[in-house]
Structure 1
Amino acid sequence: MMASWGGRGATLVVCAAGALTLPACGSQPSTAAPSTSPVPTATERSVDGPTGFIAPSGNIACRLDATYARCDIMDRDWSSPPKPADCEWDYGQGLLLVTAGPAEFICAGDTAFGVEDVLPYGEAVRVGPMRCESAEAGVTCRNADTGRGFVLSRQSYQLI
């Protein structure tokens, strides 16, 4: 799962003709509430200051504080948008989310790599409104105040 956004469960009832009669196959609507499956929630750790982590795969590294979240990726199967003319540094290797704006590709001469703390799959770290979650499918970072964010993985990226 890329993010813990919640979800809905559904019950599927297959009705067949024959000796077996199921109450749900009758013409009366069922009054039972639909069953729901619990949505796994990441274990979250909150910190007061700047922090960083690397995904267990070693392919994604992130840094965040209360004003931004940035993740860089080493190997990817997708292409970034064209480099803007005003970008004098590297472009397309990472995504950046700041408190006052949408997520975007970063133009930077440095890297988020170099951190040693591994954030295990199924765990999240939060600094102020910025929250990043590590999952086998990739890393999701969001600003809890605005709902904006991004998902980054080897297979794809998404600006939220």
Structure 2
Amino acid sequence: MHGARRLRPGAAALAVAAVLLTGCDGEDGGQDTPDGGASTQGEQEGAQGSGSEDQTDDAAEGEASGESEEEAEPAPPPTEPADIQPAAGDRSVSEDGGTITVQGDSAAFVTPSGNIACVLNGPSATCQLLDKTYDANAEHLVDDSLGDCDIASADAMVLTDAGGVWTCPPEPLAPAAGAVAGGWWADEVGAPTTGVEDTDAAVLEYGRTLAVEGASCQSSEDGVTCRSSELGRQFFIARSAYRFGQAR
């Protein structure tokens, strides 16, 4: 990646590891663009226009902290979704209209079709596609500090302070939405479940939003939109398109 969408190796690895340590469905995301991006002109401008701003943000951050790639601390290896152990007793779920809010734990879900699985660990979120009709723009691929991941195999987008970056999770995310892992919230609010990759996974129905500590993902028939109030960023991911930029 280059410009604002390229994270320092250590920061990129930490962003993915943080999401996976605790552990969107669209069949149509609109018209494709060469970078697999926005479905409308306005959305394209939003994603493309974030480049210079993001570059300025990254430059200011680098000058303020004095950090370099060599100084970044190595990230711990991501934990496999099957190893997730919910902290029972220190968590709660509440509903307000179409929003389900989780406190004291991470959370995960799959879309009704099962094509997208997401894990939320405020302030970030990661969503993985089982099937997509495009290859992401290679400039949007996370640094190779996470191992062997090329653009053809990248199938998951991570919400970071640079917007959205593509990567390859070490394990499928769908099992993280199981009842004994990040899908524990479904039983609390009577949400449905569905079988995905041998897992009875929690389903976030179309039109509903799951929120965890400043991060939220909304499920719709077009796809999944995840936002972070802390990072000030968002991404949209679907079977046929994706885009990312500043949170609205």
CA separation of 1:142 and 1:86: change in aligned 2, threshold 3 A: same
Pick the aligned partner of 2:171 from 95, 110, 118: 110
Amino acid in structure 2 at the alignment position of 1:106: T
Which protein has the larger Cα radius of gyration, Structure 1 or Structure 2?
1
Q: Give secondary structure in 1 for the equivalent of 2:154.
A: strand
Name 1:45's counterpart in structure 2: 100
1:141 aligns with 2:196: no
Q: Answer 1 or 2: which has greater helix percent.
A: 2
Relative to the length of structure 2, the TM-score reads 0.44
The answer to which structure, 1 or 2, has the higher relative contact order (CA under 8 A, 6+ apart) is 2
**Residue of 143, 154, 160 corresponding to 2:239:** 154
How much does 1:145 deviate? Answer: 3.2
Distance apart, 1:87 and its partner CA: 4.8
* Structure 1 equivalent of residue 118 of structure 2: 62
What's the Cα RMSD here? 2.3
User: How far has the Cα of 1:103 moved from its partner?
Assistant: 1.7
Structure 1: which 5+ runs fail to align?
3-41
Aligned positions of 1:1-160 closer than 5 A: 43-48=98-103, 49-82=105-138, 86-90=145-149, 91-98=153-160, 100-114=161-175, 115=177, 116-160=201-245
TM-score normalised by L of structure 1:
0.67
Q: Which amino acid aligns with 1:155?
A: S
CA contact (8 A) 2:128 2:155 kept: yes
Distance in 1 (alpha carbons) for counterparts of 2:127 and 2:144: 22
Percent identical among aligned pairs is 28
Residues matched between the structures, number: 120
Bigger strand share: 1
SS at match of 1:103: strand
Structure 2 alignment gaps of length 5 or more:
1-25, 30-96, 178-200
Name the CA distance, whole Å, in 1 between partners of 2:230 and 2:146. 29
Partners in 1 of 2:220 and 2:111 — Cα distance? 8
Q: Quick check: 2:118–2:125 contact (8 Å CA) kept in 1?
A: yes
CA change 1:51–1:89 in 2 (3 A) is farther
